[in-house]
Amino acid sequence: MLKESDNKIEIPGIEISNNGSARTVWTYAKQKDGYDVIHMINLLGIEVSNWRVFAKFPGTQVSKLVFSIFALSNSLT
């Protein structure tokens, strides 16, 4: 089972969120069995906060994405 992680994800030049806000890339990290799992959900170009209600909003394509992850804790077992 995946566990919550304190690791921080940064994407230079792109606004991120930790709660799925519109016009951001929603990022969060989890951990399992010595591995970090990174989730990045593209909400760029989505103009409404309740985006889950609308299934066919086109997002903004992002290519050649560069990101950093910072391990804030050493809780992997």
CA distance 61 to 73: 32
Domain membership of residue 7 (yes or no) is yes
On the 0-12 / 13-18 / 19+ scale of CB atoms within 10 A, 55 is: exposed
Q: What is the pLDDT of residue 50?
A: 76
Task: Give me the domain span that covers residue 20.
Answer: 3-70
Residue 10 has what pLDDT? 93
In a domain, 47, yes or no: yes
Whether 76 is covered by a domain: the verdict is no
Question: Does a structural domain hold residue 23?
Answer: yes
Prediction pTM value = 0.76
**pLDDT tens profile 52-75:** 766 566 667 888 888 888 887 655
Q: What is the CATH number of the domain that holds 20?
A: 2.60.40.1180
Q: What is the pLDDT of residue 28?
A: 93
Give one DSSP letter per residue of 22-53, joined into a string.
TTSEEEEEEEETTEEEEEEEE-TT---TTGGG
Q: Is a pLDDT exceeding 50 seen at residue 76?
A: no
- Residue 71 identity (one-letter amino acid): A
User: Is 75 a member of any domain?
Assistant: no
The total number of structural domains that make up the chain: 1
